[in-house]
Amino acid sequence: MKSCPKCGIESPDAARFCRGCGSSFEGAVPQTQGATAPGAGETSVPDAVPNSAPDVYPLQTLVLGSQPLPSASDMPAGSAVPMPPSVAGPVPAPSVPVPSVPAQQVSEPGAAPVPPRPAPGVPPIPSPAPGVPPTGPMPVPGAADVKPLLTPEQQERAKAEARAFGDWFRTFVTRPSKVGGGRAWYGIVVIVLTTFLSALAPILVAGNAASGATAGLPYEVSYWLSDMMEEAGFRVFMGLWIGGTVFLYAALGCLRLARAAMADPLGFGGLHDSVAHRLGPWTVLNLVACLLGLVHLDPLALAVWMLASQTFNVWLLVLVWEGNPRRRLDAHWARFLSMLLMIVLETVVAVVIVLAVALTLGVMFANDLGSLLS
């Protein structure tokens, strides 16, 4: 074994170059085993590497320490830099295999891009030809399956029906005596609308009065009372609306019975359409009462509402008198007796409906009061 005069690493006797630094042994003075190299007893301490110059060869520094690497001038022509056995060994295979890219997704430079594959169950999206920009919005998958709510024929029928109802409602307000030409549901709509306005007008007046009564109370008491009165007012409004609608249809039934007593041939359907189309003045009066209640003209609103209610009850008797009697009895007597029958039936129906609505609201208020006190 012989030692390198530069790095001090031992190499075989037959080696021509140092296996540590790669320098040539030619021209070097061989040393015997018993000879001691100058400075062999001294310990060489490598210079400290400053923090500003990090080690650019951490692996070689770990294996070889601070020994210098051979430079290109020290290497003979055509030779490679020797590496330590631990570094020059084969690179181990990775424990997790690297996924390979499918061949069909890899495109060569300059080739046309491969369109993405659609998901299963989704129709393919057509792609434009190469070099041709798309002229419109791209179709959305599944948009062709969305059907319109109404077909074109149904839309045309709906528009025609809306125009017909608009014409009928215009004559309902401007010319109530022009009866006929409408469907059965036209009369149902205006009857429900009239009873709605008739129930809303007194609730608005009562709400304005309740707000004025609680204005001078403390905030906590006023807020609590206002909340209770709003809930109670809504319940009373629903009771008046439903009760008024039931009463009006019950009055139509009583009117049909009164006319049947005089042998009038007009059926319930024709009577329903005739009465509904002539409700225009009472609908307008109840609407005026609601508007007056909204602007806090409560006495005037209440007066208009009471006027509408009283004239409606009188008009029901007029409808009985308009019947066509066909009895052997005198026509005047037939109308008079039918009107008396109408008054009796209407009174009984009104009492029953008022008691039913009052009992229902009373039970609701009693339950609320019991839950409040418990």
Is residue 313 over pLDDT 50?
yes
| Confidence label for 136 from pLDDT (cuts 50, 70 and 90) | low
* Assigned domain for 123 exists: no
* Assigned domain for 321 exists: yes
The more confidently predicted of residues 88 and 123 is 123
Is residue 11 over pLDDT 90?
no
Residue linked to tokens 């690493």? 9
| Confidence label for 59 from pLDDT (cuts 50, 70 and 90) | very low
The pLDDT, as a whole number, for residue 103 is 47
* Assigned domain for 126 exists: no
The pLDDT, as a whole number, for residue 290 is 95
Mean pLDDT calculated for residue range 64-89 = 51
3-state secondary structure 251-318: HHHHHHHHHHHCCCCCCHHHHHHHHHHCCHHHHHHHHHHHHHHHCCCHHHHHHHHHHHHHHHHHHHHH
* Assigned domain for 73 exists: no
Read off the pLDDT of residues 15-27 as tens digits, 9 standing for 90 and up.
Answer: 778 877 877 777 6
Is residue 174 over pLDDT 50?
yes
Dihedral, CA of residue 340, residue 255, residue 347 and residue 195, to nearest 10: -150
| Confidence label for 129 from pLDDT (cuts 50, 70 and 90) | low
Give the distance, in angstroms, between the CA of residue 359 and the centroid of all CA atoms in the same chain.
41
- The token pair that represents 236 in the structure block: 């009373």
Indicate the number of domains in the chain. Answer: 1
Distance CA 306, CA 286 (A): 9
* Assigned domain for 130 exists: no
Residue linked to tokens 């330590």? 84
Could you list the residue range(s) of the whole structural domain that residue 225 is in?
185-373
Q: Is the pTM of this model over 0.85?
A: no
* Assigned domain for 117 exists: no
Least-confidence region, from 186-195, 216-225, 358-367: 216-225
The pLDDT, as a whole number, for residue 104 is 46
* Assigned domain for 57 exists: no
* Assigned domain for 60 exists: no
